[in-house]
Amino acid sequence: MASQDGIHTGRCLCGAVRFRTEGKPLWVAHCHCESCRRNTGSPMTSFVGYRAEQVTYTQGKPAVYESSPGVERAFCARCGTPMTYGGARAPGELHVYLCTLDDPENFPPTVHVHVGERLPWFDTTDKAPRYRVSGRSGEPPIG
């Protein structure tokens, strides 16, 4: 597995929007919240968290949608690929959808968040800690 440090690149499905990240991510997580599920049409999604200044668009610009107060989701206006999440709960951070990276295999998630909203018929077998919300408030992992 390659290092998470350094420069990594990514793109949307059609390639109209491309980006690069620089430096080590803040965290890598699976999210089970209803908003992320609806945004992706999947039972969960995975993110790589960066400081906003670590992410640069190198081709095209994503469209931005305010999905709820204080939350902006960026996506490719051409193909619809979700690209990033930014929210008031994590100021200065930009959460990149993990599988938009060209090398997602190098960023294994280490935590599950918003497990309180997890679909009851979906689970994974990894041993990563699970948090009912996000763990940022100091809540202990569940299970």
Gap between the Cα atoms of 31 and 110, Å rounded: 11
Q: Which two tokens stand for residue 80?
A: 């619809």
What does the alpha-carbon distance between residue 93 and residue 52 come to, in Å, rounded to a whole number? 5
Question: pTM of whole model > 0.75?
Answer: yes
Q: In what order do the strands lie in the sheet with 55-59?
A: 7-11, 18-22, 55-59
* Predicted pLDDT at 59: 98
Q: What is the CA angle 114-95-62, rounded to 5?
A: 125
Alpha helix (H) residue ranges in the chain: 34-40
pLDDT value for 76: 98
In this predicted structure, what is the pLDDT of residue 135?
A: 79
Residue 98 has phi, psi (to 5 degrees) of -50, -45
Q: Is the dihedral of CA 15, 17, 18, 21 positive or negative?
A: negative
Which CATH class, in words, describes the domain spanning 7-117?
mainly beta
| Residue 136, C-beta contacts closer than 8 angstroms, at least 6 positions apart | 89, 90
> What pLDDT does residue 1 have?
62
Q: Where are the domains of the chain?
A: 7-117
Stretches where the chain sits below pLDDT 70 are: 1-2
